Structure 1
Amino acid sequence: MQKTKDIIMDYLELPRPIALVLDAAGNIEHLSIEACQLLGYELSEILGANWVSMCLPQRWQLKTKRMYDAVSADYNEEPQCHTYPVLAKNGRQHPLAWHIEQRHSPSGAIVGSISTGIKVRDNALQEKNALLQSAARNQAVLDNAIEAIISINAQGTITHVNKTTEKIFGYPEEELLGQNITFLIPDTEKPLEHYRATLWNYMMPDSNKLIGINRELGAKHKDGHQLPIELTVAEISIAGIRSFTGIMRDISERKLSEARLKQSKEEVQQARDRLAHMDRLHIASEMSTGIAHELNQPLTAISMYAQACRNLVDNGKSDIKSLLSTLLRIDKQAQRAGDIIRNIRALVGKQDPHHQLTNINDLIHSTIELAQVDIECRTITFKCQCSETLPMIEIVSGQIQQVILNLIRNAGDAMVDLKPQEKIISIISEQTCQDFISIIVRDTGVGLDIDQPNEQLFQPFYSTKTHGMGMGLAISHSIVHNHGGKLCANKNYSDGAEFSFTLPVMPILGDH
């Protein structure tokens, strides 16, 4: 019996709810008797007054007005629950927990709000204050974040933004709330409907594969200029209602730095190409005597064969078979001269920077033929040990030919004091592992100084030759590195000098 009495007393002591009806401007259209009693006003005194201005403590007015504005907006159809105090006529404050929802006209238009409030007990108020303090701390964190943080509801409408959003996009909070997220998309970056659909897929993904993944896209500043952003999407589900938070970082500075870095890399590469071209011209100038000699031989032969043809005709002893045989010899010598010129042009001309599938063994043999144009190389015996099972590789063939030619010429210089039968250059090609092939150039010269740092060999302007520029190995090292390989000297080879370099079977495209 006592237990039943206690339950009844607890029920009777429960605070009575109050009812409040506001129009779209926040003015009081109706107030329940309980509300009038709590506030100490007669109904006639308060009807038509602005609820926030008249019945709330000043420090709560701005925040509560924004809350009611949000409730009355098209994008916020869900009922809202808030706690805020009311200010009675006698100056006393009463904390109330409010349930607030939209009012609609028969046509469906929003005409205001209906609020139901109930007094909050002390312990509940303490809990609510703790929640409010926690929310304030969270809001402070959001507002001080360097990223724009934007929340949208299930319809893609912006429901909340932090202060950084205004700094990045230039729009104040009130201009963004209620807008669709596509409001921030530039019209000119892509066809608008396609691009909006793309961003919509980012912010409203049906698949979790896009949640938490960074995406780069363009956005629109209030002043009209476009800015690159990095977007990360987080999904929130409360009571079955989905919403999304987009974290947007302005990456303009990063993109500018990337563009500058790319330009710097291109300028460095252009400088390397010019330097390599100078090296090829230097090689050609050093080989000029041999080139002249090599060209002179087929030209002399052509002249002699032509004179023979004329003599046959002048003596009346010509026949078609003899003339044809002589003309074929002329053609062969002309082709030989043409091959020499083509090889020299390939050496000294500007290199095509594009990678092409190349048979490295064919390139080695053609480079040896080019090297033998030089008088100094004619007394050298070349031994090739080329693996026949090497795969085709993607390289800039002219650049790799320059590397091989530099190594051959260095080897020839190292054997200049040897007898002709002692001058041997061995060139080996092999696949050292699944990912790389190796080209080795050995000579029978004086060898390398074991006390000399390996890195010094590949420094620009370093040379052991009195007439050398000191650029050949440095340029070769750079070319091989840009192809994703490595050029090194083997000081453990005791019968002369050995240089080797590797090339990847698959090109390192990012380095080019």
Structure 2
Amino acid sequence: MSEEIKSMEQDEKILLVDDNPTNLQVLLQTLSGRGYKLLIAKDGENALRIANKAKPALLLLDIMMPGIDGYEVCKRLKADQATSDIAVIFLSALDDTHDKVRGLESGAVDYIAKPFQAEEVIARVENQLKIYRLEQALAARNRELEATNQRLLETMREGIYEVDINGVIVFANPAACRISGRTEEELVGKLLYDHVLIDEDGTQVPLKKALLEPTLKYGLSQTRDDWSGCRKDSVIVPIDISCTPILVEGEITGAVIVFRDISEKKQQQENLEHALKEIQEQKDKLTHMSRLSSMGEMASGFAHEVNQPLTAINNYAQVCRRALDREPLDKAFLNEAMEKIVTQAQRAGGIISRIRSFVRKPDHHLETVDINRVVEDIVNLAEVDARNNQVEIHLSLADDLPQVRIDPVQIQQVALNLIRNAMEAMKNQPTRDIGVKVETRRLDDRFVQVRVIDRGYGLAEDADEKMFTPFYTTKVDGMGIGLSVCYSIIQAHGGTLQFERNPEGGTIFWFTVPAL
């Protein structure tokens, strides 16, 4: 490797852009100690200013930020010749195909969904930086001495071809021979697509269909992440490939093709996907356990709540039995008693139905729903705990709210956790009679907000930094996973979970979910 490339690696800068300090801290911890110079920006304006000054090799860029969002930042970088070569990887909780396509169309090279895994971020960053180094090395090829160039080509793991204006191979490095299973003599002088690349159906790729033609005809640099190469022994090898034009005094004279065998990479990706699936399953189990824990804590209240209609049913049944022994038979009285039995049975069934709906373990299932209906249902469930704590719940629902697309059970889990925490904070306070207020409102054109307001004992001094950290709790018997699980749920929905100190005393917790 040349001294120029070594220097390039030592000076590589990565700019991390996110308005969430927690996300920035996680990224810094993930990438620290790997030889990169890490820069940070908390909004789009600062990101553009730092990029123009520092010229980083790579941006890890959040999408949803105040002011200029990530899409606009990427577009401006690509429109400026001074920063157009900077690679951009989006990091965002927006995980729809539309969002990914929009990100790639704005000029990004990759897209990582939040919450992300450290191994995935490291692998993708290293992959993009390797491509960056290769492209920089190829851009400087005509300025290097022939001997230095030859040593570089011979020591690279990636295969390299040089082709003339007609697509005929004029040079193949040792790695290209090794990957293709052919000798240099078998490659040089042959059309690249006659011997190396194949189409998806295993047939030869016509020159006009291949990515080489736009490079040779228009001077476009191109990349493909998933192509296939055919070895001499007919074994098909998955490869990624880039194609860069060779310019001599402004004229296109050929192209340089860089490719590598990604069989191992594909296997690693499959292993990573399997690991991510297992992690998601564990997260689902933790979320379900959190719901079961809430129901366990409220069990005595539910038992009392169900026992009341059951007692009434028993009493009415005894009355009916006595009435049947009387002559003459009073049918009107019996019908009235039976109607009361039905009413009480429906009351008990309703309580049990709400509990079953809440604690079930469903697959991830997004529904288009009315957020007010979701909040009303969970407040009805929380009323049992409210009576036990002697704290009233006051509901204030905004009119004409847009519908939202959410997992109703998970959002109810978040709301119930916040309501129960609020009641816990107020149950021994002089302000208990004020009660807990739960309200919905439209935050802006994009989000609906749910707020839980209490007048309890307030927050601990270290809450601002630790509130959503796993296993942080101020309760004597608390596990500290409730709010952490809630935070993950809201992030996965593309919203925000935050809190603030109530100016009148107590705390205001709120979360948002995207509106349709």
Whether TM exceeds 0.5 here: the answer is yes
Q: Following the alignment from structure 1 to structure 2, what is the Cα–Cα distance between the partners of residues 199 and 305?
A: 86
Deviates more, 1:412-421 or 1:401-410: 412-421
Kindly state the Cα deviation for residue 490 of structure 1 after the two structures are TM-superposed: 0.9
Q: CA 1:221/1:297 → structure 2, altered by over 3 Å: closer, same or farther? A: farther
* Aligned residue identity for 2:361: K
Aligned-partner Cα distance in 1 for 2:215–2:146: 30
Paired AA for residue 381 in structure 2: L
Letter in 2 for 1:329: K
Verify the 8 A CA contact 1:146 1:249 in the aligned structure 2: yes
For residue 246 of structure 1, report the CA deviation from its aligned partner: 3.2
Tell me by how many angstroms 1:287 deviates: 0.9
Name the structure 2 match of 1:203. Answer: 212
Partner in structure 2 of residue 367 of structure 1: 378
Cα–Cα, structure 1 residues 443 and 174, in superposed 2: closer, same or farther, change >3 Å?
same
Whether 1:181 and 2:173 are equivalent positions in the alignment is no
Matched, 1:282 2:293: yes
The match for 1:64 is none
Relative to structure 1, the CA distance from residue 234 to residue 377 in structure 2 (aligned partners, 3 Å threshold; closer, same or farther) is: same
Which of the residues 469, 479, 493 maps onto 2:479? Answer: 469
**Aligned residues of 2:468 and 2:487 also touching (Cα < 8 A):** yes
The equivalent residue for 2:488 is 478
Matched residue count: 371
The aligned counterpart of 2:276 is 265
Residues of 1 paired with 2:433 and 2:208: CA distance?
73
Structure-1 separation of matches of 2:255 and 2:505: 72
Please tell me the residue identity of whatever aligns with 1:457.
M
Shift of 1:454: 1.3
State the match for 2:308 in structure 1.
Answer: 297
Tell me the distance in 2 between the aligned counterparts of 1:300 and 1:310: 15
Structure 1 Cα separation of the partners of residues 198 and 475 of structure 2: 63
1:409 counterpart letter in structure 2: R
Q: Which of 142, 149, 157 does residue 160 from structure 2 map onto?
A: 149
Instruction: Provide the rounded CA distance (Å) in 1 between the counterparts of 2:344 and 2:207.
Output: 66
The alpha-carbon deviation at position 366 of structure 1 amounts to 0.7
Q: Secondary structure at the match of 1:214?
A: strand
Picking from 436, 452, 463, the partner of 1:425 is: 436
Deviation at 1:418, TM superposition (A): 3.9
CA contact (8 A) 1:372 1:378 kept: no
1:320 CA displacement: 6.2
Q: Are 1:454 and 2:457 matched, yes or no? A: no
The amino acid that maps onto 2:483 is L
Structure 1's 331 and 172: CA in aligned 2 closer, same or farther, altered over 3 A? farther
Distance 1:267 1:409 in 2: 31
Whether the 8 Å CA contact 1:383–1:425 is kept in 2: the answer is yes
Partner residue of 2:507 out of 450, 473, 497: 497
Of the candidates 255, 260, 266, which is equivalent to residue 249 of structure 1?
260
Which residue identity lines up with residue 481 of structure 2 in the other structure? M
| TM-fit CA distance, 1:326 | 4.1
1:401 corresponds to which residue?
A: 412
Identity of aligned residues (%): 35
Which stretch shifts more, 404-413 or 333-342? Answer: 333-342
List runs of 5+ in structure 2 lacking aligned partners. Answer: 1-141
The structural deviation recorded for 1:174 is 2.8
Change (3 A) 1:284 1:244: same
Q: Is the contact made by 2:215 and 2:244 (CA closer than 8 Å) also made in structure 1?
A: no
Structure 1 residues 329, 192: closer, same or farther in 2, change over 3 A? farther
Cα pair 2:386 2:393 within 8 Å, conserved: no
1:231 corresponds to which residue?
Answer: 241
SS at match of 1:485: coil
Cα distance, 1:321 vs structure 2: 5.7
Tell me whether 1:487 sits opposite 2:481 in the alignment. Answer: no
- Indicate which of 298, 310, 315 corresponds to 2:326: 315
**1:338-383: CA deviations, max 9, x gaps?**
2222221233222422322232211111111111122655632222
- Given that 1:380 and 1:420 are in contact with CA atoms closer than 8 Å, whether structure 2 keeps it comes out as no
Letter of the 1:181 partner, please give it: Y
Give SS of 1:426's match: strand
> Does the aligned pair in 1 maintain the 2:392–2:436 contact within 8 Å?
yes
**CA RMSD across the alignment:** 3.8
Of 347, 354, 357, 2:368 maps to 357
Larger mean CA deviation between 359-368 and 480-489 belongs to 480-489
Structure 1: gaps spanning 5 or more residues: 1-130, 507-512
CA positional deviation for 1:154: 7.7
- Name 1:329's counterpart in structure 2: 340
- Shift of residue 185 of structure 1? 4.7
C-alpha displacement of 1:296 = 1.4
Residue identity matched to 1:380: V
Q: CA deviation at 1:146?
A: 4.4
TM superposition score normalised by structure 1: 0.62
Local SS of the residue matching 1:171: coil
**Letter matched to residue 497 of structure 2:** L
Map Cα deviations across residues 264-303 of structure 1 (whole Å, 9 max, x no partner).
4333333322222222222111111111112212222333
Larger displacement relative to structure 2 (236-245 or 301-310):
236-245
Question: How far off is 1:243 after superposition?
Answer: 5.8
1:505 & 1:208 partners in 2: Cα distance? 47
- Cα contact 1:427–1:441 (8 A) shared by 2: yes
State the shift of 1:244 in Å: 5.4
Q: Which has the larger radius of gyration?
A: 1
One-letter code aligned to 2:181: G
Q: What residue identity is the alignment partner of 2:494?
A: G
CA contact (8 A) 2:165 2:253 kept: yes
Match of 2:452 among 437, 441, 462: 441
Deviations 1:245-275 (A, max 9, x none): 5332334454455444444433333332222
Q: 1:235 to 1:304 in 2, by over 3 A?
A: same
